[in-house]
């Protein structure tokens, strides 16, 4: 690594150490072990993170990223990282629950993750896999620009440990910062939002004496949107309500009593799970439930680019590049796959000293992934024919 007191050079800087950023870093290491990589991440593993159900098909990817990752997930000081997911049960198109059991899945059961803990396990895995070439720094991205020669990026960040601003330079910048796409937007890209779907979620906790034995994700459609609930480690359960920003229920869902009222009037099965399990909204630290977050379909345009000299390149990955409606339950596995793909292409670009422009490959693969997602999303929404309110009309 080429360093001076002011700046440190890396081949690749990844902003965001979530699933996409970690998958990109580990794949880069597999494909080009000599490449120097900086991951800049500002996550607090003590804060609850939404997005918990990981399908069993992810086993292959996790094993590829690190052969001991599944073992780390099952123990290794992280006992509360997950509970099993036995399948989905959906009241979608009918008020009765229709079950998709994990027994029918060739990969077996998936996971309901403590997501903040899972992301931390991934970051720990990155650190231990490549201590000499990958540096993980806790800090927040501030700005990015090309240096005067346009051959490298110059990226500044506020570093938590020293409370100082530092400047790093690199040939590649990967934006893995999630829906905010904070780096790409500074570089002139814009996020195209297909809808204004919001998610309102709350974490519930049940008394230690009650054992919730329902390990499925339960999904329920209602007149004004749709709900899901998944069990979580430590006697917890997450409940999320999805509706459009313009829907009148979105005002009620912002307040705790309004959210609880909607939950018990709009759902039958999830309401029953919460009541029979003796669940109450979790009171923990600064968390104030319900939390409202963007959940709509969104994609970045363009998802990648180059500097004036074409020597310095950037690419967005995971939610930063394309964010899916949570109905798909494909956010994490897609972010993992994209991370692997991007990490490998960058590794090869560095080895070949940039002989080909990889940005056209990224554009093509991303565009195919988006078309497939969009088609599937339309199909699933069209299966719910009982309601014809504004929420459903906009999706059919």
Ligand X SMILES: Cc1cc2nc3c(=O)[nH]c(=O)nc-3n(C[C@H](O)[C@H](O)[C@H](O)COP(=O)(O)OP(=O)(O)OC[C@H]3O[C@@H](n4cnc5c(N)ncnc54)[C@H](O)[C@@H]3O)c2cc1C
Interacting residues with ligand X (CB under 6 A): 15-21, 40-43, 50-54, 119, 140-141, 176-178, 180, 182, 199, 201, 240, 293, 295, 318-320, 326, 329, 331-333, 335
Dist CA 142 CA 182 (whole Å): 9
Query: Strand locations in 87-233, DSSP E?
Result: 87-91, 98-101, 110-113, 134-146, 153-159, 164-175, 190-193, 197-205, 216-222, 225-232
CB of 319 to ligand X, least distance (A): 4
Which CB sits closer to ligand X, 145 or 311?
145
CB of 213 to ligand X, least distance (A): 20
Enumerate the H helices of 267-358 as residue ranges: 269-276, 331-351
Specify the 3-state DSSP secondary structure of 16.
coil
CB of 303 to ligand X, least distance (A): 12
Is residue 35 within 8 A of residue 28, CB to CB? The reply is yes
CB of 240 to ligand X, least distance (A): 5
Which CB sits closer to ligand X, 35 or 184?
184
Dist CA 151 CA 215 (whole Å): 52
Which CB sits closer to ligand X, 138 or 264?
138
Which CB sits closer to ligand X, 231 or 318?
318
CB of 45 to ligand X, least distance (A): 9
Dist CA 16 CA 137 (whole Å): 10
115-129 vs 19-31: helix crossing angle, rounded to 10: 20
CB of 237 to ligand X, least distance (A): 13
CB of 28 to ligand X, least distance (A): 15
Dist CA 273 CA 210 (whole Å): 12
Which CB sits closer to ligand X, 116 or 306?
116
Dist CA 349 CA 344 (whole Å): 9
Which CB sits closer to ligand X, 15 or 102?
15
Cis peptide before 385 (omega within 30 of 0): no
Which CB sits closer to ligand X, 54 or 312?
54
Encoded tokens for 273: 């799970």
Dist CA 119 CA 129 (whole Å): 15
CB of 20 to ligand X, least distance (A): 4
- What is the CA 277 to chain-centroid distance, rounded? 28
Per 3-state DSSP, what percentage of the chain is helix, strand, and coil (rounded to 5)? 35, 30, 35
Which CB sits closer to ligand X, 318 or 358?
318
């Amino acid at each position: 690594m080429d360093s001076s007191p002011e700046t440190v050079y890396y081949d690749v800087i990844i902003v965001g150490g979530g699933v996409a950023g970690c998958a990109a870093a580990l794949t880069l290491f597999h494909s080009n072990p000599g490449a120097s990589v900086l991951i800049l991440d500002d996550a607090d593993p003590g804060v609850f993170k939404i997005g918990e159900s990981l399908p069993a098909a992810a086993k292959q990817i996790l094993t590829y990223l690190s052969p001991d990752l599944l073992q780390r997930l099952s123990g290794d000081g992280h006992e509360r990282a997950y509970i099993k997911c036995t399948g989905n049960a959906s009241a979608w198109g009918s008020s009765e629950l229709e079950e998709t059991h994990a027994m029918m899945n060739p990969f077996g059961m998936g996971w309901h993750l403590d997501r903040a803990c899972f992301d931390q396990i991934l970051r720990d895995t990155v650190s231990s896999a490549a201590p000499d070439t990958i540096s993980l720094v806790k800090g927040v991205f501030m700005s990015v620009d090309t240096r005067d020669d346009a051959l490298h990026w110059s990226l500044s960040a506020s570093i938590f440990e020293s409370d100082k601003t530092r400047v790093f330079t690199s040939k590649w910048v990967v934006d893995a910062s999630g829906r905010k796409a904070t780096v790409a937007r500074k570089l002139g890209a814009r996020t195209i939002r297909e809808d204004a779907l919001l998610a309102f979620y709350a974490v519930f906790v049940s008394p230690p004496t009650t054992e919730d034995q329902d390990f499925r994700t339960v999904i329920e459609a209602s007149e004004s949107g749709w709900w899901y609930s998944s069990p979580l480690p430590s006697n917890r359960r997450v409940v999320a309500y999805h509706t459009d920003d313009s829907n009148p229920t979105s005002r009620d869902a912002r307040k705790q009593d309004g959210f609880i009222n909607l939950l018990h009037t709009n759902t039958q099965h999830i309401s029953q799970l919460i009541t029979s399990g003796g669940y109450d909204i979790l009171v923990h630290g600064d968390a104030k439930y319900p939390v409202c977050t963007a959940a709509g379909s969104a994609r970045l345009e363009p998802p990648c680019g180059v500097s004036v000299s074409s020597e310095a390149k950037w690419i967005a990955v995971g939610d930063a590049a394309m964010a899916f409606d949570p109905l798909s339950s494909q956010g994490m596995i897609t972010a993992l796959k994209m991370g692997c793909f991007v990490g490998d292409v960058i590794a090869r670009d560095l080895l070949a000293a940039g002989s080909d422009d990889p940005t056209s490959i990224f554009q093509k693969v991303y565009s195919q992934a988006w078309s497939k997602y969009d088609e599937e999303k339309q199909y699933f929404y069209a299966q719910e024919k009982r309601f014809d309110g504004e929420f459903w009309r906009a999706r059919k």
